[in-house]
């Protein structure tokens, strides 16, 4: 989703995006088509992702995809590697986040000068949660977050790509804290998708870390403009 928005933002400012995706004949996990795709490329913006609840699968994906992308970028003379990451991925022990930690470590250890932007959950995540819920049910996670519009994240990534490599940037978060469960219910109500809201507590160490604000942007964070309710009104 963010990749598509990054492409649109690059086109808007008059840059020339090269899409690296299976749909374009390029596979990051195997390296197929990657060298050819990066020929003449100045900056890489990595928004690659895998949908999984498995730590093993997350680490394996980001190890393969990031390692191949960095190696191919170095060989092609890429001057700047920009990677999208997640606020709190280093302090919240969710299995998927272990892959993001590994990705960040690979980028920082690589030979291509780099920038990492950590963003909070997107406004769009609430609707994704609703879409993934069983029929007639809205799974409402009891999760503190400070969501941001994905379009604002895409614009920040493009802004970073236009600048010099900066290492880890300040966190990027939304303008106000929300509860994910309440967001899911508001999405369902706005779309007249009447469902039974089922609270789902976040348990274990990850649940405690989230309750303590582990997913909220840190000190010195950059905050977006569009609130969740404003985004909901704009997109319904």
* Per-residue pLDDT of the chain in tens (236 residues, 90 and over written 9): 999 999 999 999 999 999 999 999 999 999 999 999 999 999 999 999 999 989 999 999 999 999 999 999 999 999 999 999 999 999 999 999 999 999 999 999 999 999 999 999 999 999 988 888 888 888 888 899 999 999 999 999 999 999 999 999 999 999 999 999 899 989 988 887 778 888 888 889 999 999 999 999 999 999 999 999 999 999 88
CA distances from 146 to 21, 32, 33, 236 (A): 29, 37, 38, 21
Q: At what angle do helices 180-190 and 124-132 cross, to 10 degrees?
A: 80
Q: Determine if residue 225 is left, alpha or beta; phi over 0 gives left, psi from -120 to 50 gives alpha, anything else beta.
A: alpha
Domains recognised in the chain with CATH numbers: 2-235 (3.40.50.720)
């Amino acid at each position: 989703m963010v990749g598509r928005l990054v492409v649109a933002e690059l086109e808007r400012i008059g840059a020339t995006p090269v899409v690296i995706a299976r749909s374009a004949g390029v596979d990051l996990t195997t390296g197929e088509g990657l060298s050819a795709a990066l020929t003449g490329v100045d900056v890489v913006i990595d928004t690659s992702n895998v949908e999984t609840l498995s730590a093993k699968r997350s680490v394996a994906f980001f190890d393969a995809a990031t390692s191949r992308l960095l190696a191919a970028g170095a060989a092609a003379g890429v001057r700047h590697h920009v990677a999208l990451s997640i606020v709190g991925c280093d302090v919240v022990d969710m299995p998927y986040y272990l892959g993001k930690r590994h990705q960040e470590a690979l980028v920082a250890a690589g030979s291509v000068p780099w920038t990492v932007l950590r963003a909070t959950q997107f406004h769009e995540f609430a609707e994704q949660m609703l879409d993934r819920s069983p029929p007639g049910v809205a799974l409402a996670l009891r999760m503190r977050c400070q969501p941001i519009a994905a379009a604002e994240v895409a614009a920040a990534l493009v802004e970073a790509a236009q600048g010099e490599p900066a290492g880890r940037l300040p966190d990027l978060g939304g303008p106000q804290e929300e509860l994910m469960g309440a967001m899911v219910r508001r999405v369902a109500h706005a779309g007249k998708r009447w469902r039974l809201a089922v609270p789902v507590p976040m348990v274990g160490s990850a649940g405690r870390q989230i309750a303590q604000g582990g997913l909220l942007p840190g000190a010195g964070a950059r905050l977006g403009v569009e609130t969740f309710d404003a985004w909901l009104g704009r997109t319904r």
